[in-house]
Amino acid sequence: MPTYTLNINNKQHTVEADEDMPLLWALRDLLNLTGTKFGCGVSSCGACTVLMNNQATRSCQVPLQGAVGAKITTIEGLSQDGTHPVQKAWEKIGVPQCGYCQSGQIMNVVGLLKAHPKPTNEQIETMMAGNLCRCGTYQRIKQAIHLVIAETTGSPSGMRKTITTK
């Protein structure tokens, strides 16, 4: 079986696996990084989203050989104590219900904000269209996104509704 060295959360990890094993399963089963979730396996739900070179990527569709040489960040790599600005906004707004999709949602937002620190409402809507939430917390997700934009850029993001915290 081939051996792969992956840069995950700023640490080098060596795994031995079939070359067609998706990154998702290496993260979860071989490296015990279980914050990245399995949802559909066909890149439709977004539960498995990680950052590869700062871009939101569905880990269920990336073969291990395609991850070699990339800088991969999982939800565990955002912060040790939940203090990343997006995680703090999620907590302030009280976004999760069941929480299953939230690591993918958060990683998708972090990818968007790395590319566009002050995204338009259209960019936010486009990004959100790729992540499913069975609990329907989409409005709270939008509120959290607008809160983090306001807090990290010092200016309102254009959201018309008042943001309330719990």
Check whether 166 has a pLDDT greater than 70. Answer: no
For range 94-123, the mean pLDDT:
95
Strand intervals (E) in 31-103: 49-52, 55-58, 71-73
Task: Note whether 41 and 23 are within 8 A (CB).
Answer: no
Q: How confident is the model at residue 19 (pLDDT cuts 50, 70, 90)?
A: confident
Three-class DSSP category at 150: helix
User: What pLDDT does 163 receive?
Assistant: 46
| Superfamily in which the 85-164 domain is placed by CATH | [2Fe-2S]-binding domain (1.10.150.120)
Query: Whole-angstrom Cα distance, residue 75 to residue 130?
Result: 17
Residue 8 has pLDDT above 80, yes or no: yes
Cα torsion 162, 151, 10, 129: sign = positive
Q: Report the pLDDT value the prediction gives residue 15, as an integer from 0 to 100.
A: 97
The domain ranges of the chain are: 3-77, 85-164
**pTM of this prediction?**
0.91
Average pLDDT, the chain: 93
For the domain bounded by 3-77, which CATH number is listed? 3.10.20.30
Q: Is the pLDDT of residue 160 over 50?
A: no
**Sequence-ordered list of residues with C-beta below 8 angstroms from that of 29, at least 6 positions apart, any chain:** none
Q: Which residues pair with 51 in a beta bridge?
A: 56, 73
